[in-house]
Structure formats: C-alpha cells, structure tokens
Amino acid sequence: MSTQYVARKPDAHGVIAYPDQENEIWAELYARQAVNLPGRACQEYLDGLERLALPKDRVPQLAEVDEVLLDTTGWKTAAVPALISFERFFELLASRQFPVATFIRSREEFDYLQEPDIFHEIFGHCPLLTNPAFANFSHIYGKLGLAATKEERVYLARLYWFTVEFGLLKPRDGELRIYGGGILSSPGETLYAMGDKPLRKPFDLLDVLRTPYRIDIMQPVYFEIEHIDFLDEIARMDIMQSVTRARQLGLHAPLFEPKAKAV
C-alpha cells in the first residue's frame, strides 16, 4: 500500500511547525467530533479526552500528549512516517510507545482516509491510552505480534482491527458506545457505526480472527464487548492458540464486495 502523505519532521527542539491550513483541518475535525461523540463515545474515552486537554485550534505537539500518557499509564507517543512495517509497529507497542504519523489528512479525505493520520492517532486512540485496560491490551498485543510469524500477524491484525480500531461497547443494561479509534476519529463512520446498516456481533475471539475486512470502506460488521475492562480478559486468553485454530478453519465469507482492480 502506498500513500500520498509525507510525515512532517520536528525541529531541533522537537517541535513540528504545522501550516495554518493544517491547523484549520485539525480544528474543524475536532469541532465536528465534539458534536458527534457525546452519547456515542464510551465514557472511558471521554474521560481520557478530558485528561489530555488537547488543543482545539491546532495540531498538538507530541510532548504535550506524552506528559499525560506517561503520568497515567506509562505510555508515550513515537513519531513515525505515514506507513510503517508490522515489525516496527509491534516493536513500538511492546515498548509502550504508540506510533503517530505526523501528517494530517487533506480536505478531500476529511470524512475517512485509509492511512492513520495524526488526528486518527491522537484524537482517536490516545484518550483511551490513559485507561489501564486499554493500555495493557495494547502492550500485550505488541509483544504477541513481535514474537509471531508473518502468517500469524495477518490474523492478529484482525484482532486489532475489530477492537482497538473498530470496537464497540455494549453493556448488558446500557446503551451502545464506541471505543475504536478508527470510528472515533472518522466523522462519517461515527454516525454509520451507530446506525442500522452494519451488523453488530458479540465479541468472540475465534470469530474475530476469521473475519475478513477492507480498509477502504465503512465496516459491514463490528464486534461488541460489554465493558472496557474486558480487554484485560482478552489479553489473558490464549490468543496464539486461537490464531492457530483460525488458520486451520479458514476465513468466513466476506460481507463486502471485492475491491475493484485498477484498469
């Protein structure tokens, strides 16, 4: 997968000078999600967003985010290019560093983009990295991925996709909420995920590992956990044994059309 985006480099003091038009995109994305997320985002995310106190009118500096993450769960961010290898991704998570691509989306991809930009990483994921269960799951996942084979990592990617990126939370006696950063940072998918179009299923590890996905469309299926602390329970499961079983059983039939080939 290639990308049109190039990450911005920090100066000698570690500060990235974002141009006015990119700060404006951040401000508009933030303002739009500030309207969309109440009543849709899970409380743990909203609590984390309050702790981070992100600037609303400009792209934040990573040092500002690190100060809060280090104090709450011992995590920090790591500036990376637009796309990094699986190996580097797992290395960072295993060392409690969250990769953040230091570019922001264009207006043409305001609602949804395939590559994770700084709004996706900081606004979408970092608030929940202040939560111990979410932070622990991310750390365990990184260590598993680092030790996994190339073939096993393909299955592990589905676990990350349907939890950290596109996970939903549905308490037995409560309302549906979002905790996946891919949804929380996407104005379009925030509304779509809570609507009546997608299929929503209770989380089942083997089912998740066998479910194909596409990165360039709204998701046809989401998986729900009952509470954010359930991520700790997933971390204690024998995930790699389930990966082995999923590889034996094969993938479910996709709930989407195959991607059209370029002519």
**120 belongs to the catalytic site:** yes
Q: Which CATH superfamily is domain 20-249 in?
A: Aromatic amino acid hydroxylase (1.10.800.10)
Which one from 125, 138, 139, 224 is the annotated catalytic residue? 125
| Domain assignments of the chain as residue spans, ordered by start | 20-249
For residues 181 and 119, the answer to whether their CB atoms sit within 8 Å is no
DSSP 166-212: T-EE--TTS--EE--HHHHT-HHHHHHHTSSSSEEEE--HHHHHT--
> What integer pLDDT is reported at residue 83 of this predicted model?
84
Long-range Cβ contact pairs of 81-85 (< 8 A, separation 24 or more): 81/6, 81/7, 82/3, 82/5, 82/6, 82/7, 82/115, 83/1, 83/2, 83/3, 83/115
**185 belongs to the catalytic site:** yes
Which one from 91, 165, 189, 224 is the annotated catalytic residue? 165
What does pTM read for this prediction? 0.94
Mean pLDDT of each 10-residue bin along the chain, 263 residues long: 85 94 97 95 98 98 98 97 91 98 92 86 98 98 98 97 98 95 93 96 98 94 98 98 98 90 51
13 is in an annotated binding site: no
